Chain A
Amino acid sequence: MIRHTVRDSSYLAMRALREVIRQPAFEVQNYFIPLFFFFVTVGAIGNVSGRAFGVTNYEAFQMPVAVLQGVAGGASVSALAMVTDIERGYFDKLLLTPTPRIALVLGRLFADGIRVMVITLVILIVATIFGSGMEAGVAGYVAILLLAGLFGLAYAGFGLSIALRTGSPQAAQAGFLIFFPLLFLSPAFAPKEFFDGWLEFLATINPVTYILEGMRTLVLVGWDWEDVGKALLAIGGLGAVNITLTILALRHRTA
Chain B
Amino acid sequence: MTSAISATGLRRIFPPDVKAVDGIDLDIPHGQIFGFLGANGSGKTTTVRMLTTLLRPTEGSATVDGLDVLGNATTVRSRIGVALQDASLDVVMTGRELLTLQARLYRMPGNVIKERVSSLLRIVDLEEAADRRVGTYSGGMQRRLDLAAALVHSPKIVFLDEPTSGLDPISRDSIWRYVEELNRDEGVTFFLTTQYLEEADRLAHEVAIMDRGRIVAQGAPEDLKASVGADVVTVRLEDQDFQPDRAVAALQQIDGMTDVRVVRDSVVVYIKDGSSAIAPIVRALDESKIQVEEITLARPSLDDVFLRKTGHHIEAHDHNLLPAEDGKRPS
On A, residues with C-beta under 8 Å from B are 4, 8, 11-12, 15, 18-19, 22-23, 85, 88-90, 92-99, 254-255
Are A96's CB and B54's CB within 8 A?
yes
Are B106's CB and A85's CB within 8 A?
no
Q: If A15-B90, A23-B92 touch, does A92 touch B105 (CB 8 Å cutoff)?
A: no
B278 CB–A CB distance under 8 Å:
no
Q: If A22-B92, A98-B106 touch, does A93 touch B149 (CB 8 Å cutoff)?
A: yes
Are A96's CB and B93's CB within 8 A?
no
* A255 CA / B54 CA spacing, docked (Å): 8
Are B54's CB and A92's CB within 8 A?
yes
> Please, which residues of chain B bring their CB within 8 A of the CB of A12?
101
> Please, which residues of chain A bring their CB within 8 A of the CB of B101?
11-12, 15
B79 to chain A, nearest CB (A): 9
B317 CB–A CB distance under 8 Å:
no
Q: Which among A8, A11, A22, A93 is the interface contact of B84 at CB below 8 angstroms?
A: A93
**Which of B50-106 touch A at CB < 8 Å?**
52-54, 56, 74-75, 77-78, 80, 82, 84, 86-93, 97, 101-102, 104-106
B107 CB–A CB distance under 8 Å:
yes
B93 to chain A, nearest CB (A): 7
Are A98's CB and B107's CB within 8 A?
yes
> Please, which residues of chain A bring their CB within 8 A of the CB of B78?
98
> Please, which residues of chain B bring their CB within 8 A of the CB of A254?
54
Are B149's CB and A98's CB within 8 A?
no
Are A96's CB and B77's CB within 8 A?
yes
Besides A12-B101, A89-B84, 10 more A-B contacts (Cβ < 8 Å) are A8-B104, A15-B101, A18-B93, A22-B92, A85-B90, A94-B105, A96-B54, A97-B105, A98-B74, A254-B54
* A19 CA / B102 CA spacing, docked (Å): 16
> Please, which residues of chain A bring their CB within 8 A of the CB of B54?
92, 95-96, 254
Are A90's CB and B88's CB within 8 A?
yes
> Please, which residues of chain B bring their CB within 8 A of the CB of A22?
92, 133
* A15 CA / B92 CA spacing, docked (Å): 9
> Please, which residues of chain A bring their CB within 8 A of the CB of B82?
93, 96
Are B93's CB and A4's CB within 8 A?
no
> Please, which residues of chain A bring their CB within 8 A of the CB of B87?
89
Q: If A89-B84, A92-B54, A92-B84 touch, does A99 touch B105 (CB 8 Å cutoff)?
A: yes
Supply 10 A–B pairs (Cβ within 8 Å), ascending by A: A8-B104, A18-B93, A88-B91, A89-B87, A93-B84, A93-B149, A96-B52, A97-B106, A98-B74, A99-B105
> Please, which residues of chain A bring their CB within 8 A of the CB of B86?
89
> Please, which residues of chain B bring their CB within 8 A of the CB of A19?
92
Determine the residue in chain B with the shortest Cβ distance to A21. B92
Are B93's CB and A15's CB within 8 A?
yes
Q: If A92-B88, A96-B77 touch, does A255 touch B107 (CB 8 Å cutoff)?
A: no
> Please, which residues of chain A bring their CB within 8 A of the CB of B74?
98
> Please, which residues of chain A bring their CB within 8 A of the CB of B92?
18-19, 22-23
> Please, which residues of chain A bring their CB within 8 A of the CB of B77?
96-98
Are A93's CB and B106's CB within 8 A?
no
> Please, which residues of chain B bring their CB within 8 A of the CB of A18?
92-93, 97
Are B105's CB and A255's CB within 8 A?
no
Determine the residue in chain A with the shortest Cβ distance to B146. A93
> Please, which residues of chain B bring their CB within 8 A of the CB of A23?
92
Q: Which among B53, B93, B105 is the interface contact of A8 at CB below 8 angstroms?
A: B105
Are A90's CB and B106's CB within 8 A?
no
A100 to chain B, nearest CB (A): 8
Q: If A98-B77, A98-B78 touch, does A93 touch B88 (CB 8 Å cutoff)?
A: yes
Closest 7 pairs (CB-CB, A-B): A89-B88, A97-B105, A98-B78, A99-B105, A98-B77, A93-B88, A96-B82
Are A93's CB and B89's CB within 8 A?
yes
Report which residue of A19, A92, A96, A98 has the largest number of chain B beta carbons within 10 angstroms of its beta carbon.
A96
Determine the residue in chain B with the shortest Cβ distance to A89. B88
Are B105's CB and A88's CB within 8 A?
no
* A223 CA / B62 CA spacing, docked (Å): 61
Report which residue of B54, B56, B84, B104 has the largest number of chain A beta carbons within 10 angstroms of its beta carbon.
B104
> Please, which residues of chain A bring their CB within 8 A of the CB of B90?
15, 85, 88, 90
* A92 CA / B159 CA spacing, docked (Å): 14
* A254 CA / B53 CA spacing, docked (Å): 9
A91 to chain B, nearest CB (A): 8
Report which residue of B74, B89, B92 has the largest number of chain A beta carbons within 10 angstroms of its beta carbon.
B92
Are B107's CB and A96's CB within 8 A?
no
> Please, which residues of chain A bring their CB within 8 A of the CB of B53?
96
* A18 CA / B56 CA spacing, docked (Å): 33
> Please, which residues of chain A bring their CB within 8 A of the CB of B102?
93, 97
B154 to chain A, nearest CB (A): 14
B144 to chain A, nearest CB (A): 15
* A24 CA / B45 CA spacing, docked (Å): 36
**Which of B7-52 touch A at CB < 8 Å?**
52
Determine the residue in chain A with the shortest Cβ distance to B133. A22
* A12 CA / B90 CA spacing, docked (Å): 12
Determine the residue in chain B with the shortest Cβ distance to A87. B88
